[in-house]
Structure 1
Amino acid sequence: MHLAQFRTADLPAGDRFDAWHEMTSNALISTVVTTESVDDFTATVKVLDLGAVQLSTVSYPPLRATRTARIIRRSDPDLYYVSLPLRGRLGVRHVGRDADIDTDHFVVIDTSQPGVVVNSEPVKHLIVQVPRAELPFKPSALNTAVARPLPIGGGIGALLVNVAQQMMGSVDAFRPAEGMRLANVVVDLVTSVLAGHLHNGGAARDAAQRLLQRRIFDFIETRLPDQALSPSVVAAAHNISVRYLQLLFQDQGLTVSGWIRERRLDRCRRDLRDPALAGRPVHAIGARWGLPDPTAFNRAFKQAFGVPPGDYRRQQLELEGCADGQGVCAQRQ
């Protein structure tokens, strides 16, 4: 989690526009920008990086920003921008639609599609930047909301604005390790806001289910070392029944217990081929990832990968140039 700030007022007047354009192209998105304020460009940028998700507040004078097909071919981060004006108005021409956005509305922009953003007056807006893969909507459903003036309203939309601004204004109150959790909060709020504007009950339910599934997978991934991890623990942590949890996994062609075992074995396999862990006993590798019974671990590993874990380690360490299974590795030529 990192907060970066930039003010053109800190630079000589003649350097401001070029510096701002370079900074926003790197931190936000690449565009071609034209403005009549080149000689004295007054703008600010504040960017909070939460990992997959990024929050920004940007203020600048009248300008025209164009994202062309050529720029997209050169640099496509595959993101959705949710832009909420805090002051002024934005004009958006994108995916064949024209939208005029004021402080009571927000707009969704697809960075993989060309478009133009124009403001004829000074503007300040909040940008929530979310990777396409993080939003649990089918592209066809979400595309109906792109480049339309969507009301913020007084419910979830207002909560999204308040939470985003509070995060950006209180970075010191959060620990660096909390970035992922904060990103999940933002994604949940964006998902809820967009679901309310899709006017499609099926799409909204599908999005909610996908989001829940992703949260469950993340929960399992971070708790694999916990021997107590079980379907009942996972269900309780997400306030759902074990039966509903099993149905969610059945939809993916999986079982909960099978997925937990598969992910644990995959982590063990990764550790067994790591030369830095060659001195750690095989049974300790299994115990590290929630498989404390050596006999059961050996049997499950052989069933999954065709060889017992000890044999797998020896094969992999030989390929890595290790002389033995005790952590003595030959110098690479």
Structure 2
Amino acid sequence: MFFSTDHCEDIDKNKVWSETLSSTYFPLSAECRNPVDFKGNLKSWALGVVGLSEMECDSVMYRRNKSHFKEEKDNSLLITIPHRVDVHFQQSSRQTSCGPGSFLVERGDMPYEFSHAQRNKLWVLKVPTSSVQSRLGPTDRLGALTFDATSGIGSYFVGAVRNALESIDAIDSAAREMAGQHLLDLLCLSMRSDDRILDSASSSIRAAHLQRAEQFIRDNLANPNLNSQMVAESCGISLRYLQGLFAENDYSVVGYIREQRLARCHETLRMVHESSTLAQIAHRWGFYDQAQFCKYYRVKYGCTPSDTRKNTRVEAAVTSGKH
């Protein structure tokens, strides 16, 4: 999709820019610093479950209020990479600035304000909160965090975004879907390397052990031998101690493993160009009894795995027809 205000001289720029961004990301309001002379353009692409966009516009303030997301069922995160000037962001009790050489995480399930005082160029990824949770754990501590993109995995991630944008028009939809998965994995790796991703309660030994156990599980879902004993041994703690950690958070080790596997299966089923059978997808993420997999899947998502795959492809066909 491509949109530009160049041909919108006689309309309300605040309204049209708000509507454009709302349709690309999620509902929000935009207040242009100079609505009469405001200029902006936006290009966006679907990379499977990931949305990627490139935006260039004059000074503006964006606001997302409770009324914007009270009816939403699927939460998302926005990852913003500024190129010219700092962006300023406030969410909950956090205020931060993010400049070139960094990227910012915005939670879509909480109110926020986002602004830049001068014309700016931004790359923005929209990623499902559930996809980040399945790789990184809880996302409630991510809002308004900025991450360095000048070195290490953060630099590699931003470089991959650049490569995707440069080649996006030359690759087909299947390749775009794979590119989206690659960007999602790199994003989570870059955030995971930051100490602030640890839970604010991780100063306690028990919380740190729980965080390590959960991450070990998320990293080893495909291992058919993954079980409570293996997790305990990987963390250097007893099985009884591990079970106690999970019980304190109202779930079991086995239940947590199952929930994480279901989340990865759900994400895979939402990939339009994934050609594996349902049994192969279930097996890939550690389910070896397809009947049980379907049973647990229906309980969690309210539909069968086949329904998810069918509905995803129908929605993709409708979206493709619109363009």
Instruction: State the TM bucket, normalised to the shorter chain.
Output: 0.5 to 0.7
CA distance in 2, matches of 1:211, 1:5: 38
Q: How does 1:75-90 map to 2 (within 5 A)?
A: 75=72, 77-90=74-87
Residue 184 of structure 1 corresponds to 181
Larger Rg over CA atoms: 1
Residue 69 of structure 1 corresponds to 66
Q: Normalising by structure 1, report the TM-score.
A: 0.62
CA distance in 2, matches of 1:264, 1:86: 45
CA distance in 1, matches of 2:146, 2:118: 18
Displacement of 1:162 in angstroms is: 1.9
CA distance in 2, matches of 1:150, 1:48: 24
What SS does the corresponding residue of 1:143 show, helix, strand or coil? coil
Contact persistence 1:36–1:63 (CA under 8 A): yes
Displacement of 1:12 in angstroms is: 2.5
CA distance in 2, matches of 1:92, 1:40: 24
The Cα offsets for residues 170-198 of structure 1, whole Å up to 9 and x where unpaired, read as: 22332222333222111101110110114
What SS does the corresponding residue of 2:21 show, helix, strand or coil? helix
Contact persistence 2:47–2:173 (CA under 8 A): no
Residue 259 of structure 1 corresponds to 289
Contact persistence 1:84–1:125 (CA under 8 A): yes
What SS does the corresponding residue of 1:144 show, helix, strand or coil? coil
Residue 136 of structure 2 corresponds to 137
Contact persistence 1:224–1:263 (CA under 8 A): no
CA distance in 2, matches of 1:64, 1:265: 46
Change (3 A) 1:51 1:264: same
Contact persistence 1:9–1:16 (CA under 8 A): no
Contact persistence 1:76–1:112 (CA under 8 A): no
Contact persistence 1:58–1:126 (CA under 8 A): yes
Does 2:168 align with 1:171?
yes
Q: How does 1:36-115 map to 2 (within 5 A)?
A: 36-75=33-72, 77-115=74-112
Alignment RMSD (CA, Å): 3.3
Query: Which of 201, 218, 221 is the equivalent residue of 1:210?
Result: 218
Contact persistence 1:144–1:198 (CA under 8 A): no
Displacement of 1:164 in angstroms is: 1.6
Indicate the structure whose relative CO is greater, using CA pairs within 8 Å and at least 6 residues apart.
2
Displacement of 1:147 in angstroms is: 0.6
Contact persistence 2:17–2:30 (CA under 8 A): no
Query: Which of 123, 148, 158 is the equivalent residue of 1:151?
Result: 148
Change (3 A) 1:92 1:134: same
Change (3 A) 1:80 1:207: farther
CA distance in 2, matches of 1:225, 1:14: 49
**Unpaired segments of 5 or more residues in structure 1?**
235-247, 250-255, 271-333
One-letter amino acid of the structure 1 residue matched with residue 218 of structure 2: R
Aligned residues between the structures: 238
Contact persistence 2:14–2:32 (CA under 8 A): no
Contact persistence 1:5–1:47 (CA under 8 A): yes
**Unpaired segments of 5 or more residues in structure 2?**
199-207, 222-260, 297-303, 305-323
CA distance in 2, matches of 1:165, 1:194: 18
Change (3 A) 1:77 1:260: closer
What SS does the corresponding residue of 2:289 show, helix, strand or coil? helix
CA distance in 1, matches of 2:146, 2:279: 46
Query: Which of 211, 223, 231 is the equivalent residue of 2:276?
Result: 223
Displacement of 1:116 in angstroms is: 0.5
Change (3 A) 1:78 1:5: same
One-letter amino acid of the structure 2 residue matched with residue 160 of structure 1: F
Percent identical pairs in the alignment equals: 17
Q: Normalising by structure 2, report the TM-score.
A: 0.63
